[in-house]
Amino acid sequence: MSQSPARLCAAALLLLPSRTCPGAEGALSPLRKKRRSALRGCLWQNLRGCAGDGLTAAGPGRAVCSMGSSTSRLYSALAKTLGSSGSAVPQQCLEQPCQEQLEPIDPKELLEECQEVLQGRPARFHRDFVTLKNCFSSNRHHPIRVMQWNILAQALGEGKDNFIKCPMEALKWEERKYLILEEILTYQPDVLCLQEVDHYWDTFQPMLSRLGYQCTFLPKPWSPCLEVECNNGPDGCALFFLQDRFQLVSSSKLRLTARTLQTNQVAIAETLQCRETGRLICVVVTHLKARTGWERFRSAQGSDLLRNLQDITEGAKIPLIICGDFNAEPTEDVYKHFASSSLNLNSAYKVLSVDGQSEPPYTTWNIRPSGESCHTLDYIWYSQHALNVNAALDLLTEEQIGPNRLPSFNYPSDHMSLVCDFSFSEDPDRLL
């Protein structure tokens, strides 16, 4: 007889040392205590999601973010997804999800629900696509739409990041998740690259898999989210692609190094075959070390990633798209390494500039206790010998962002999403 997911969740919790077990706490180092606490919180969250029995707290002192009303399509979809797997919901803490065929969700209906839930919020910003005049109209294949976005980890947004001009109410996950989903559903990317994902297992994987995406997640080895009370587990990078457009050829999960030191930053690189053209493309998502003073560290991480990609793409024989929050301005060495790499990369968002050679003035804009921060840190790099940029989504204006900056009631992250349409070049070797 199969057991219910709730029973399995409870069983999984029993695998952890009891808080009242004599000597159990004293035998653990402070670091292991933190990790064990985070794991217990992770399992409690899943117990709440699987049980669906009115529990109001995920264990002692752990509040749970509901997924919406029990009558909503989003809530029902997630409840059915979490309840459909009879095997351990602790999969949230594993690297490999159980790939299971689930009933698809109509993206239009889900977008409508997001908009209904967000009716009480200010109108969202309108952004236009800028189409390049020299894009190849003769290309008869559908463009590949790629979306890059640091969505702001929930634990950091409500905890460590301290956006002093953003009301806490605007950061509550109960509505902020709808803003994130609305942005994704509005632009309907074929490939989606996200950073600071700490609600992968309970939101993004179940929802996007049912929208037709294949999903991959790689958490940071030690996430700062775990230092926040009532966290939802570690944050990391996630890569999604539409299965009706691409077939997975290979997948690599990378822990970046700085010289010989293994670091806390990661990358996912997946080689995909386009079903329409039969051509290969390697898509990468990464998130480099943050903060001023770590420029040389980021440079070393970037060099390590480039070396790995040199091998994965067989020396640029496979075209590349690299999405990420590099935490680096264009003046930093890591940016220059990518711009001058033998992989022949170019930054897609330069197409928005008048001369086609300059990055946008900002991709993130926030206010913390240390002051106002306005920087260009996010990029979509691409193989310019094999791919063309057909269009790019314009960025928010200063007037749209407003004096309190990001995040806000209008926008869920302090980073803006970048969206580009690419096409394969008819002459892929022209610049090699």
Domain-embedded: residue 109? no
Cα–Cα distance between 173 and 225 in angstroms, integer? 15
Residue 432 included in any domain = no
| Average pLDDT rounded to a whole number, residues 63-70 | 40
Instruction: Determine, yes or no, domain membership for 418.
Output: yes
Share of the chain above pLDDT 90, in %: 70
CB 316 within 8 A of CB 343: yes
Q: Both 139 and 221 in a single domain?
A: yes
Q: Is residue 110 part of a domain?
A: no
209 and 317 share one domain: yes
CATH code of 134's domain: 3.60.10.10
The token duo for 319 is: 């075209």
Phi, psi dihedrals of residue 428, rounded to the nearest 5°: -65, -15
The structure tokens listed for 8 are 């399995």
Query: Average of pLDDT values for 321-349?
Result: 98
Question: Which of 335, 312, 310 lies closest to 324 in space, CA to CA?
Answer: 335
pTM (whole model) above 0.95: no
**Residues 71, 162 within the same domain:** no
Q: What letter would DSSP give residue 143?
A: P
**Average pLDDT of the residues of the chain:** 82
Domain termination site, one of 93, 109, 127: 93
Cis peptide, bond prior to residue 221, ω within 30 of zero = no
pLDDT for the residue 73: 56
Number of structural domains found in the chain: 2
Is 431 part of a structural domain of the chain? Answer: no
176 and 89 together in one domain? no
CA 252 from centroid of its chain's CA atoms: 17
Residues 176 and 252 in one domain: yes
| Residue 175 counted as domain residue | yes
Residue 307 belongs to domain spanning: 117-424
Domain assignment present for 325: yes
Q: Are residues 299 and 360 in the same domain?
A: yes
**Residue among 315, 174, 276, 187 at smallest CA distance from 240:** 187
Which candidate, 408, 406, 393, places its Cα nearest to that of 118?
408
* Residues 74, 179 within the same domain: no
Per-residue pLDDT, averaged over 194-211, amounts to 97
Whether 381 is in a domain gets the answer yes
Domain boundary (93, 128, 153) is at: 93
Across 213-217, 226-230, 302-306, 344-348, least confident range: 226-230
Residue 347: helix, strand or coil by DSSP? strand
Query: Does 229 share its domain with 265?
Result: yes
pLDDT tens digits along 143-154 = 999 999 999 999
- Answer yes or no: do 30 and 158 share one domain: no
